[in-house]
Amino acid sequence: MPPEEMLHQQRQMATVRAYWESMQKKPLAMVVTYGCQQNENDSERLRGMLYEMGYGFTEDKEKADLILFNTCAVREGAELRVLGNVGALKHLKARRPGVIIGICGCMMQQEHMVRQIKSKYKHVSVVFGTHTLYQFPDILFRALVQNLRVFDVTDSEGEIAEDIPVYREGDVKAWVSVMYGCNNFCTYCIVPYVRGRERSRRPEKILEELRELASRGVKEITLLGQNVNSYGRDADFSMDFADLLREVNRVDGIRRIRFMTSHPKDMTDRLIDAMAECEKVTRQLHLPVQAGSSRILKEMNRRYTKEQYLALVDKVRAKLGNISMTSDIIVGFPGETEEDFLETLDVLEKVRFDSVYSFLYSKRSGTPAAQMPDSATEEEKHARFDRLLEVQNRISREINEEYGGKTYELLVEGQSKTDPGMLTGRTSGGKIVNFPDNGQIKPGDFVNVKITKVSTWSLAGETVSGQIGNG
Ligand code: 5AD
Ligand code: SF4
């Protein structure tokens, strides 16, 4: 990104800030995020820029001067929810015309959506896509100060815009993007079209950000990318994800390293070895399988078979021990038969994931799968989805039961959201554990907790001193 472009954005931030100061008003922004952690991370950047522009934050749309939806296009359901929520703000805009309503993110990288917003949602005055996020100060300036309706959805992916301010909630853990975009073109997926081709951040920029986070007391970081293990493949520097992990492992102060998402076809031996050797890399791997049938996997363009996936899991476990594994699964891909679906259940039984994120296939226009013939009815797909949940819930519970009576080291994250008065922390394997607050433990501490209560979704325990497990 040319420095003069970033300078321009910085000037626009100062102008917007001065605008609000001249009004003698502290403006409030409400940023609503849909979708994946990349989007959450983008929202942290949007908030960072807003903070520099003088904004505070609110969750109450009646108090907000700016309402911004950062959207997801992966499934139709999320898109419909955004459209519903934006539509419902029409009356608010009529009552308070000064409020700026904006939509950004992946949905806005689709032409048909932008056209729809332009013509049918006249109360929306700010629209921009994922590639122009860094131009937000200029976009907001034009909407707010010049009173324009701004649509900025250029398609060019360009270079990575570094040095955008970031506003992070909480100070124990943080997400850090290491790359953007995806080259895989799984046939069901819209991401490569809305996020563009893979672009890796320079390692020195990533490490700089990590050191800064560590200096502020952050203990756990999650390295983010649509496909982190192809890190560096697009770049002019010679470093792959395994090398990056080793570098990150050396950052003082960072105690735990997670990363997501990994594509099975890119899980190299080099990477598995790096995971084994880096003591800060957690005992957890998110490795989406998507489906169990090799025929469906081929139709999905996943570039591995069921047998190759299972062999990979065996290899990972042979080298890394019995680490927690999680996965994404799509039910009802076009042409999926009962036999195909049984293959998916078979993978669940064989791998025994700790948990899975399961999704009903959602047709995305512009993707190859949208043209594929389909035979199963909606009822059949829903019934398969329920069966999948039933199998997985049993497995998750069985796995959780094995935790009972054992002691684990937790990174304390704060007060429990589900259990008032209790603290909550996470094991290295990513399990959430609630435990009583003895008044001396604070977020960011590491404590040993013995598991005393187990359910399908959560664990509870008591602090102890002494020997710990490796979960
Ligand atoms: N329909 C349903 N699920 C999808 N995913 C991606 N595209 C679709 C789609 N069209 C799921 C995949 C991916 C996760 C982030 O979302 O499982 O791993
Ligand atoms: Fe979508 Fe496949 Fe890329 Fe993941 S790897 S973002 S599922 S195209």
For residues 369 and 33, give the distance between their C-alpha atoms in angstroms, rounded to a whole number.
27
Confidence at residue 466, expressed as pLDDT on a 0 to 100 scale: 56
In the predicted structure, residue 47 carries a pLDDT above the cut 70: yes
For residues 297 and 370, give the distance between their C-alpha atoms in angstroms, rounded to a whole number.
16
* Per-residue model confidence as pLDDT tens digits over 336-364: 999 999 999 999 999 999 999 999 999 99
Confidence at residue 391, expressed as pLDDT on a 0 to 100 scale: 98
Query: Hey, whose CA ends up nearest to atom 5 of ligand 2?
Result: 184
pLDDT grade for 158, boundaries at 50, 70 and 90: low
CA–centroid distance, 275 to ligand 2, in Å, is 22
Mean pLDDT of the region 315-341: 96
Query: Hey, whose CA ends up nearest to atom 2 of ligand 1?
Result: 361
Confidence at residue 468, expressed as pLDDT on a 0 to 100 scale: 56
Which uninterrupted H or E stretch holds 382?
Answer: helix 378-401
189 touches ligand 2 (CB under 6 Å): yes
Which ligand is closest in space to the CA of residue 74? 1
CB atoms within 10 A of CB 325: 23
Tokens of 353: 């994931």
* Residue 440 exposed, middle or buried by CB count within 10 Å (0-12, 13-18, 19+): exposed
For residues 231 and 198, give the distance between their C-alpha atoms in angstroms, rounded to a whole number.
8
Residue 358 C-alpha from the chain's centroid: 15
Mean pLDDT of the region 214-219: 96
CA–centroid distance, 153 to ligand 2, in Å, is 22
Probe target for ligand 1 pocket from 186, 188, 190, with the most ligand atoms within 8 Å of CB: 188
pLDDT grade for 189, boundaries at 50, 70 and 90: very high
CA–centroid distance, 361 to ligand 1, in Å, is 7
For the ranges 153-157, 253-257, 376-380, the lowest mean pLDDT is seen at: 153-157
For the ranges 137-141, 149-153, 363-367, the lowest mean pLDDT is seen at: 149-153
288 touches ligand 1 (CB under 6 Å): yes
Which ligand is closest in space to the CA of residue 344? 1
CA–centroid distance, 335 to ligand 2, in Å, is 20
Average pLDDT along the chain: 94
Which ligand is closest in space to the CA of residue 191? 2
Mean pLDDT of the region 198-204: 96
Please provide residue 132's backbone torsions phi and psi, each rounded to the nearest 5 degrees.
Answer: -115, 20
pLDDT grade for 244, boundaries at 50, 70 and 90: very high
* Per-residue model confidence as pLDDT tens digits over 84-128: 999 999 999 999 999 999 999 999 999 999 999 999 999 999 999
